[in-house]
Structure 1
């Protein structure tokens, strides 16, 4: 709720569900067993989820496996598919075994200790189900809650939140990085990105920062919105040089060790989402930066390999399947 509207009373019904923590008022709450699915929030509509909080009691060597191996899935209105589908860590903008910076943006936060929050509104017309999918052989404990409001009516302008996970190993500068391809009406909200490379020419993210972030709107042949530099799209300039966060952009992990470069960053377009009426295709394209020396060297040596992990966030008028594919409908 905007600060300037905190004083307004509304005909909404407050709702909440707890999960995982069975050492208190709810001894019946189960752990997340290996290779299982656990519902952590389920509400009938019309309504809107306001907050998802999660802290997983994982330490040491298990952290990297579980933050990528446990998925958050959100299903709207009894659809047979999830419209939010991403690893827990990446969805909440946490990365690299939970070693990324604690931060607080307007819509996501990571607070000490391992305390993850999502404040992105999730409207639903009939029903919403929020689940954790454990794709590992380890049991997960912790605590979580979901808060929501039941709305007096569904408004035609409401759109469904989507989040999609993609992992891509690409060779720069020859290959592009797909971010999203969706059909329908909506607006692109943001992205969390991780990058890992052992290419010596990409030390300190040289070269990696040179891609253009392109948005092809409603079938356009050329990008309508085109950010001339990957770090520029993510809210920074002249590469990612230091850890930083604010409401809209953050660099939460920077490390060069043992010949491996690692980066994590997020960007939320809260003031200028990319709006589309029929379709959107977004990608990171390096073909116009061939004069860049690190990219030239990597291309000549044939070793410009980068492993990217991305969660894209967008709102769309109709709920669609967010499991990674060429096009989502």
Structure 2
């Protein structure tokens, strides 16, 4: 009988027992130690629990000072993170930077603004009902991406706000054996604001190694009138140069929709499903909100895009102009790419400044 390590979870495996150990990190148990939860005597809830004492809700959250890098989780492996829940006010989401490091690497494998990681890039909450990412009223952010590590895992949050931020969080993980063929979770954020005329937005580039691409989130602001989503997504892999191996047929097509998402006639129809969605639509208000904004995700869970040596992903910014001709647009596009690969990975490009990440 094969020994079950508890990582390949699903309804068909729920009845299988394992030697894996379940642990959880939160402000009530910063190290995830066995039998050490709820022992705090100081914390953000201490005054509220002053009549009740230890064991009650003494440390439900943390305060992160301006410029501080707070370590959410610091775990000795082997094991895998299975679920992350957190919440803070939406106005902070672009200036709270989420980073993840596997096996004591110096460069993060994940470096993404907090909101964008959870498909909420516009600093306005929008529910997400998908398999790996769920965002629920009124700002509960959940990740179910499996994040294996062999030696060590570190998750940090950097506060780039001018004021302190209150963060609630919980990191649920398992301590267990990790098979040799399991790769490491990665995520990267990029922005083109605006996309240069006649050029494309690059979602991911410079990936070197073996792995699989598993997801895309786009926060897209349209800066012209008319239908804006004619652009094709393209995957260049394993030595592709001028032309890609995989080429889509249009923006709404890639995200599982069709015909401009126009239903009923004259209106966009939003949706959020297990693997894909156009879940967020922010309309102009006739005063200061002058442009339309969209949020879209596509998870390659049942159809991962596997690469052997390298990967580049781009999307065209394409609309319509007179004479039934395509219009190269100049939209504001922020993207988050998700993938697994064997280490080492190529370092991410430098994260843009607060001004260059700002939602404006």
What is the TM-score normalised by the length of structure 2? 0.79
- Go from structure 1 to structure 2 and tell me whether the alpha carbon gap of 1:197 and 1:322 turns closer, same or farther (over 3 Å shift): farther
The equivalent of 1:125 in structure 2 is 150
**Structure 1 residue 30: Cα displacement:** 3.7
**Structure 1 residue 167: Cα displacement:** 1.0
Separation (CA, whole Å) in 2 of partners of 1:160 and 1:49: 11
The equivalent of 2:44 in structure 1 is 22
What is the CA deviation profile of residues 59-100 of structure 1, one whole-angstrom value per residue up to 9, with x for unaligned ones?
xxxx33x11000110011111111111011010112322232
Q: Which has the larger radius of gyration?
A: 2
Separation (CA, whole Å) in 2 of partners of 1:17 and 1:78: 19
Tell whether 2:272 aligns with 1:245: yes
Equivalent position to 1:33, from 41, 65, 71: 65
- The answer to whether the Cα contact below 8 Å between 2:235 and 2:244 also exists between their aligned partners in 1 is yes
Separation (CA, whole Å) in 2 of partners of 1:95 and 1:271: 25
- Go from structure 1 to structure 2 and tell me whether the alpha carbon gap of 1:197 and 1:127 turns closer, same or farther (over 3 Å shift): same
Separation (CA, whole Å) in 2 of partners of 1:236 and 1:274: 20
- Go from structure 1 to structure 2 and tell me whether the alpha carbon gap of 1:27 and 1:239 turns closer, same or farther (over 3 Å shift): same
Separation (CA, whole Å) in 2 of partners of 1:292 and 1:188: 33
Tell whether 2:84 aligns with 1:84: no
Separation (CA, whole Å) in 2 of partners of 1:84 and 1:295: 42
In structure 1, runs of 5+ residues without a counterpart are none
**Structure 1 residue 19: Cα displacement:** 3.1
- The answer to whether the Cα contact below 8 Å between 1:92 and 1:109 also exists between their aligned partners in 2 is yes
Equivalent position to 2:230, from 203, 206, 210: 210
**Structure 1 residue 298: Cα displacement:** 4.9
- Count matched residues: 307
Separation (CA, whole Å) in 2 of partners of 1:324 and 1:310: 13
Equivalent position to 2:313, from 282, 286, 304: 282
Separation (CA, whole Å) in 2 of partners of 1:295 and 1:22: 60
Separation (CA, whole Å) in 2 of partners of 1:43 and 1:321: 23
- The answer to whether the Cα contact below 8 Å between 1:98 and 1:114 also exists between their aligned partners in 2 is no
- Go from structure 1 to structure 2 and tell me whether the alpha carbon gap of 1:217 and 1:185 turns closer, same or farther (over 3 Å shift): same
The equivalent of 2:210 in structure 1 is 185
What is the TM-score normalised by the length of structure 1? 0.86
SS in 2 for 1:210: coil
The CA RMSD measured in Å over matched residues stands at 2.4
SS in 2 for 1:38: strand
- Go from structure 1 to structure 2 and tell me whether the alpha carbon gap of 1:93 and 1:291 turns closer, same or farther (over 3 Å shift): closer
In structure 2, runs of 5+ residues without a counterpart are 1-8, 29-42, 46-55, 262-267, 352-360
Counting helix residues as a fraction of each chain, which structure ranks higher?
Answer: 1
